[in-house]
Amino acid sequence: SQQGEEDPQALSIQEGENATMNCSYKTSINNLQWYRQNSGRGLVHLILIRSNEREKHSGRLRVTLDTSKKSSSLLITASRAADTASYFCATDAEGSYIPTFGRGTSLIVHP
């Protein structure tokens, strides 16, 4: 089974709204990463957050990590139609060097 699972599976919002997606995982991790995939640009790295970090920002993106709940959230503020894509979290469990990807959240941003 997947180490990380994103929720919701699909999200549909209007341009300008915020989008929040979550990732839950099963075992202790070293790092958690978020990636975006769309047909135009393929799979692109967004943010890496280490297990000893709680929050990171990158432009309109904010990632939080709660290791006690084994969960992470990705917030996209003021979304744009160009943010339409699938978003994946990837985790590597402690003692492992292999990243495990979730099934992804499909985000549609309507203009």
Residue 15 or 101 with smaller CB distance to another protein = 101
CA atoms of 20 and 83, how far apart (whole Å): 12
Residues in contact with another protein by the rule CB under 8 A: 2, 30-31, 33, 35, 42-45, 48, 88, 92, 96-104
Closest distance to another protein from the beta carbon of 16 (Å): 29
Q: If DSSP codes are grouped into helix, strand and coil, which group holds residue 30? A: strand
Residue 40 or 111 with smaller CB distance to another protein = 40
Closest distance to another protein from the beta carbon of 73 (Å): 20
- Name the region of 42 (left: φ>0; alpha: ψ -120 to 50; beta: rest): left
